[in-house]
Amino acid sequence: MKLWNKGILRKIGFTLIIVAIFRFVAAIPIPGIPQNALKDLLTGNNFVQVIGLLSGGMLQSIGILTIGLGPYINASYIFQILSVAIPQIKELYQGGPVERKMLTMYTRLLSIPLAIIQSVVIYTILNRLGLLGDTPTQLQVASIITLLTFGSVFAMWLGELITEFGMGGGTSVIILAGILVNVPTQLVRDIETVGVKIGSTKIGGILPMFTLEGTSQAMGKFAMLLGLILGSLILAIIISLAVRKIKLIYARRVRPTGIGGYSNYIPLSINTAGVMPVIFAISILDLPRILFQYLSTQVTNPTFQSISVNVVNFLSNQLYYDGLLMIITIFFAFFSAYIVFRPEEVAENINKQGAFIEGVRPGKETQAYLNKTLWTTTLFGALLLAVIVAVPNILVQQFGLPQQVISGTGAMIMAGVVMDMIRQVQAMKSMDQSNKNFF
Report the 10 Å Cβ neighbour count for 300. 6
Q: How far apart are CA 152 and CA 110, in angstroms?
A: 12
- Burial class, 245, CB count within 10 angstroms (exposed 0-12 / middle 13-18 / buried 19+): exposed
Model confidence at 17, pLDDT cuts 50, 70, 90, reads very high
Q: Are 81 and 107 in contact (CB under 8 A)?
A: no
Q: Which of 229, 224, 276, 233 is nearest to 411 (CA)?
A: 233
In the prediction, which pLDDT does 75 show?
Answer: 84
- Give 123's strand partners: none
Model confidence at 434, pLDDT cuts 50, 70, 90, reads low
Model confidence at 35, pLDDT cuts 50, 70, 90, reads low
**What's this model's pTM, rounded to 2 decimal places?**
0.74
Q: How far apart are CA 350 and CA 391, in angstroms?
A: 40
Q: How far apart are CA 70 and CA 204, in angstroms?
A: 50
Whether the predicted pLDDT of 281 surpasses 70: yes
| Domains identified in the chain and CATH numbers | 1-193 (1.10.3370.10), 194-406 (1.10.3370.10)
Q: Are 209 and 390 in contact (CB under 8 A)?
A: no
Among the residue ranges 8-12, 60-64, 339-343, 380-384, the one predicted with the least confidence is 60-64
Q: How far apart are CA 155 and CA 417, in angstroms?
A: 17
Q: Percentage of residues in the chain with pLDDT exceeding 90? A: 3
Q: Could you read off the pLDDT of 215-254 as tens digits, one per residue?
A: 778 788 888 888 888 888 888 888 888 888 888 887 655 4
Q: Please report, in angstroms and rounded to a whole number, the separation of the first and last CA atoms in the chain.
A: 15
Indicate the SS3 state at residue 243: strand
- Give 132's strand partners: none
